[in-house]
């Protein structure tokens, strides 16, 4: 038998034959191509600028064009956004339960179409060495979990529940005051009125004596302000409200309008239909808070008034300043009414409605506060008078509610593109309002005294009234 390796290589020539099996040859046209001149005047008509202008005039835009063009980006009403907490504008940590009919909408792309057979878990379709290695790995992991070292680590991860005890939390709070004022630290036996704080660590004492910025180590503290309540700046409700306009309420845009410092918002009484709608939304939220949002505060409408000129605004601020020595001077008033009484006259700008608001919560009135730094030694000369009324401190003022105000417009007129003073129809139009600054009466003073006593933990007297200023 001859060896095949000894045979010489032979080359074979082969041609590639390609044949079109089905042909569809079209015959040539019987005559030459003829071009027809077809008039297209309609295209010139529809493409002319005049057609677009006429269409714009005949078809008004059926939207309400506000200052933000229907896309508000203001974050007022979302709790915690200005403090760095963005949970209110993000998806909830615990997602709501998914309905069984919606589960098919969340299927991945790999599961769409015809079902595919997956041979997972069938041993004879896998290599033997893979099965043995997986079994050995599972046995080794189970052995590690039962070792004494792993059991000890699991015990170390247990949570110390004693730190959640109310007494421990109170002692930790008292420790902060003991660090600030060690001379006033209570060291006796715990009683109903006094409790001993936790012992501060050397690291905590060093951090108090030499404070450092948490992220910028090159900064140094230059001054300290104790945080105190301003007991003399109380209101009838004991708290304040922040109002923000969606658009500039005045015509001054290049600088701050000083009249805004003494602007006056006068709420308009709600009608029965609005009260019923708000009560229904509030009841729905109370019944199902997970699926029904809180409607916020009552949707009041407001008359907004401003002084007629800048001089009136400055004099009104001086009249309201309790530290101004000339605040009782009647010459600060800029106008007199028909009875000859000195007044400040404020004119109405327009009517505003509540666009968005947070829910007032009297039980948690101190969740948000406004701070004002006050230092008597840094008072500007001629800025208003004596500054001995308050000591050096950072005074806080509770903020119960934040409201976004937008111009009130009639929906029918807005759809027609008309905006005039007739937008405020349905309300009693008030052109001007006269303001007189007077002392508090007994009822107003009693309300402030009650809030002040609750803040200090004192007994509330029903007939407690003191002289003060409004």
The crossing angle, in degrees rounded to 10, of helices 202-209 and 166-180 is: 40
Residue 173 has pLDDT above 60, yes or no: yes
pLDDT band at 412 (very low <50, low <70, confident <90, very high): very low
Looking at per-residue confidence, does 362 or 280 come out higher?
280
**Average pLDDT, whole number, for the chain?**
77
The pLDDT of residue 346 is 92
Helix residue ranges, H only, 259-407 = 272-287, 310-320
Task: State what percent of residues in the chain have pLDDT above 90.
Answer: 6
Return the pLDDT at 304. 92
Owner of token pair 């939304």: 281
Q: How far, in Å, CA of 150 to CA of 446, rounded?
A: 65
The CA-based dihedral angle spanning residues 461, 463, 464, 468, taken in that order and rounded to the nearest 10 degrees: 150
Give the SS3 label for residue 302.
strand
pLDDT of residue 157 exceeding 60: no
0.75 surpassed by pTM: no
Q: Which long-range contacts (CB under 8 A, 24 or more apart) does 389-392 make?
A: 389/232, 389/322, 389/323, 390/230, 391/228, 392/225, 392/226
Average pLDDT over residues 404-411: 77
Angstrom CA distances, 426 to 159, 276, 314, 421, 422, stand at 62, 18, 34, 12, 9
Q: Of the given ranges (155-169, 246-260, 410-424), which has the lowest mean pLDDT? A: 410-424
pLDDT (average), residues 71-92 = 73
| Candidate ranges 16-25, 98-107, 344-353, 381-390; pick with highest mean pLDDT | 344-353
Task: Count the neighbouring beta carbons within 10 Å of the beta carbon of residue 76.
Answer: 19
* Residue 423, pLDDT score: 46
* Beta pairing, strands 369-374 & 342-357: unpaired
What percent of the chain is modeled with pLDDT above 70? 74
Confidence (pLDDT) at 305: 93
Give pLDDT, residue 321. Answer: 85
Sorted by sequence, the CB contacts under 8 Å of residue 312 that are 6+ apart come out as 259, 334, 335, 344, 345
Nearest to 431 by CA among 421, 446, 420: 421
Closest among 466, 426, 418 to 442, alpha carbons compared: 466
> Closest Cα to residue 80, out of 295, 367, 355, 398?
367
Range with the poorest average pLDDT among 109-123, 144-158, 305-319, 450-464: 144-158
Residue 398, SS3? Answer: strand
pLDDT band at 416 (very low <50, low <70, confident <90, very high): very low
Asked if pLDDT for residue 129 goes beyond 50, the answer is no
- For residue 1, the model assigns a pLDDT of 46
Six token digits for residue 418: 């008309």
Beta strands in 216-313 (DSSP E): 227-229, 240-245, 264-268, 301-307
Residue 344, φ and ψ in degrees, nearest 5: -105, 130
Which of residues 80 and 338 earns the better pLDDT score? Answer: 338
**What is the average pLDDT across 338-350?**
89
The reported pLDDT for the residue numbered 421 is 44
Residue 435 CB partners (closer than 8 Å, separation 6+): 264, 316, 343, 344, 345, 346
pLDDT tens per residue across span 175-214: 988 888 888 888 888 888 888 888 888 888 888 888 888 8
Average pLDDT value for residue range 378-406: 75
Task: Tell me: pLDDT of 101 over 60.
Answer: yes
Q: How far apart are CA 371 and CA 238, in angstroms?
A: 16
Let me know if 104 is exposed, middle or buried by CB neighbors in 10 A (0-12, 13-18, 19+). exposed
pLDDT of residue 106: 81
SS3 percent helix, strand, coil of the chain, rounded to 5, is 35, 15, 50
Is pLDDT at 446 greater than 90 in this prediction? no
Higher pLDDT: 439 or 116? It is 439
Average pLDDT over residues 310-332: 88
**More confident position, 102 or 158:** 102
**Which pLDDT score, from 0 to 100, does residue 466 have?**
44
């Amino acid at each position: 038998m001859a060896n095949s390796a000894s045979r010489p290589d032979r080359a074979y020539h082969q041609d590639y034959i390609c044949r079109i099996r089905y042909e569809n040859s079209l015959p040539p046209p019987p005559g030459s191509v003829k071009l027809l001149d077809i008039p297209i005047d309609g295209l010139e008509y529809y493409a002319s600028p005049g057609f677009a202008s006429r269409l714009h005039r005949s078809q008004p835009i059926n939207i309400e064009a506000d200052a933000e063009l229907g896309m508000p980006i203001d974050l007022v009403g979302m709790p915690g956004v200005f403090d760095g907490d963005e949970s209110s504008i993000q998806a909830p940590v615990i997602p709501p339960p998914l309905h069984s009919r919606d589960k098919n909408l969340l299927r991945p792309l790999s599961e769409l179409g015809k079902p595919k057979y997956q041979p997972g878990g069938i041993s004879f379709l896998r290599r033997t060495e893979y099965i043995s290695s997986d079994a050995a790995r599972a046995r080794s992991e189970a052995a590690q979990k039962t070792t004494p070292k792993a059991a000890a680590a699991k015990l170390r991860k247990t949570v110390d529940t004693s730190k959640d005890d109310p007494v421990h939390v109170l002692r930790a709070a008292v420790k902060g005051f003991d660090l600030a004022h060690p001379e006033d630290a209570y060291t006796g036996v715990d009683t109903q009125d006094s409790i001993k704080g936790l012992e501060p660590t050397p690291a905590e004492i060093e951090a108090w004596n030499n404070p450092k910025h948490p992220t910028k180590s090159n900064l140094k503290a230059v001054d300290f302000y104790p945080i105190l309540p301003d007991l003399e700046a109380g209101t009838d409700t004991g708290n304040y409200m922040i109002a923000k306009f969606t658009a500039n309420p005045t015509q001054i845009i290049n600088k701050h309008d000083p009249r805004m410092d003494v602007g006056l918002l006068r709420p308009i009484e709600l009608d029965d239909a609005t009260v019923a709608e708000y009560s229904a939304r509030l009841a729905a939220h109370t019944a199902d808070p997970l699926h029904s949002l809180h409607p916020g505060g009552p949707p009041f409408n407001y008359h907004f008034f401003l002084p007629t000129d800048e001089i009136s605004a400055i004099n009104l601020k001086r009249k309201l300043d309790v530290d101004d020595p000339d605040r009782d001077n009647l010459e600060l008033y800029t106008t007199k009414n028909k009875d000859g009484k000195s007044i400040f006259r404020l004119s109405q700008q327009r009517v505003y409605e509540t666009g968005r608001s947070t829910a007032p919560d009297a039980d948690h009135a101190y969740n948000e506060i406004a701070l004002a730094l006050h230092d008597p030694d840094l008072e500007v000369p001629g800025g208003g008078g004596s500054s001995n009324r308050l000591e050096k401190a950072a005074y806080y003022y509770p903020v119960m509610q934040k409201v976004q105000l937008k111009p009130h417009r009639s929906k029918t007129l807005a759809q027609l593109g008309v905006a005039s003073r007739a937008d405020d129809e349905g309300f009693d139009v008030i052109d001007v309002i006269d303001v007189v600054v007077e002392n508090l009466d007994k009822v107003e003073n009693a309300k402030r005294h009650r809030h002040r006593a609750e803040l200090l933990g004192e007994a509330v007297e029903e007939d407690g009234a003191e002289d003060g200023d409004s």
